[in-house]
Amino acid sequence: MVLHVGCTCDKGKRLNESKDKERLYEFLMGLDSEYSTIKTQILAMKPIPSLGVAYHLVTEDERQQTITVAKKHTNKTANFQAFFQGRKGDRRQQNKKAVQKDTKQGNTNES
């Protein structure tokens, strides 16, 4: 049976819907494991969305993942900088106390 693109009979509609669903499943199964959450959400939708809608949802999820990763990286960098600055400040305090102690004891550190 050959169907024309503009076929509107029930068999034609069902065949087109079946092919659309098959394309959607192929698209979703081709995604990496990092998209497992969005894949599950798409498959749970009733009615099953079109391939275009599914693609849009996946790209939005990908964009959100990118933002989240960037924020985590920024937070790690900020934490490291804060830790390093704190360590640097501790060393300055220790050096200052040592100099004050030496000064009180009459030692001078002249080279």
On whether residue 61 sits in a domain, the answer given is yes
On whether residue 42 sits in a domain, the answer given is yes
On whether residue 97 sits in a domain, the answer given is yes
CA-only gyration radius of the chain, Å: 32
pLDDT in tens, 1-35: 444 556 678 888 889 899 999 999 999 999 999 99
On whether residue 14 sits in a domain, the answer given is yes
| 8 A C-beta contact, residue 102 and residue 109 | yes
Domain count for the chain, please give it. Answer: 1
* Residue 85, domain extent: 10-102
On whether residue 107 sits in a domain, the answer given is no
What pLDDT is attached to residue 100?
Answer: 67
On whether residue 3 sits in a domain, the answer given is no
Using DSSP's 3-state secondary structure scheme, residue 44 falls into helix
